[in-house]
Amino acid sequence: MPRRLIIPLLAILMLASCTSGHKHTTAHLPDGAGGHPKTGAPYQVAGRWYTPMQQAVHYDEQGIASWYGKDFHGRKTANGERYDMHAFSAAHKTLPLPTLVRVTNLDNGRSVIVRVNDRGPFVKDRLIDLSYAAARALGFAEHGTAHVRVQTLENNSPQPAPAHDAPAPASAGRYIQVGAFASQANAMAMQQRLQRDFPAIQIQSPHGDDHLFRVRIGPLSRQHEIERLIGDLRRHGISQSIVVAP
């Protein structure tokens, strides 16, 4: 192949595998490599004591979110993972590590699911410190802070049951997206590759101006189920999966 065609071809392949819009970003949850579950004993920062929760069930709080970026990129988090500013992660003062939470920007309605794997922010009146990717997806990376709601996944209100003729993706819960393709054949190939081990896998057809076939597993409503499947997918060689809303 002529050298001058290689770069354009690579660009096309990269675009074909990406998602579009703020609801479907190519950023991903950290894979947990090097990390370990951690609740921990009470600890003190700047003269103030914090007591980590043993469980995060029914957590639902509102407050100010900030974000941290390149100055911490690559450093170890509180549970031993490496901070990746391009992944959907977060720091919280007391939630167990790791915990998956849904963060909603109350100023614009955008929401993302992040993996809490670090401690902080130790600034007065700050509730959560998000990665750069999460802050960007929520639309406040340029502003520095936002008013947010933070919920464990079990707290998300269930949606009404779908009508009998409604498609499966309309049901309640979250989905793990393992790929998005411009080619339906490529989407079907991935579905067939994973179907034996992940029977809930399905293809979402393009709609509107969206021309991508998205391969997803779900719906899923439990945090531990999402965490387990992300680990299983990693063992199948898929480390770039993301958690998305219906």
- The string of pLDDT tens digits covering residues 94-142 is 999 999 898 999 998 888 889 999 999 998 889 999 999 999 999 999 9
**Rounded to an integer, what distance in angstroms lies between the CA atom of residue 63 and that of residue 129?**
11
pLDDT at 26: 53
Does residue 166 have a pLDDT over 50? no
pLDDT at 156: 47
Does the domain made of 43-155 have the CATH classification 2.40.40.10?
Answer: yes
CATH architecture, domain 13-23+167-244: 2-Layer Sandwich (3.30)
pLDDT at 162: 35
Does residue 172 have a pLDDT over 70? no
In the chain, domain spans: 13-23+167-244, 43-155
List all residues 6 or more positions away from 106 whose beta carbon is below 8 Å from its beta carbon.
62, 146, 147, 148, 149
**More confident position, 164 or 174:** 174
DSSP 2-51: -HHHHHHHHHHHHHHT---STTS-S-B----TT---B----EEETTEEE-
pLDDT at 35: 82
**More confident position, 222 or 63:** 63
Task: Identify the band that residue 174 occupies on the pLDDT scale cut at 50, 70 and 90.
Answer: confident
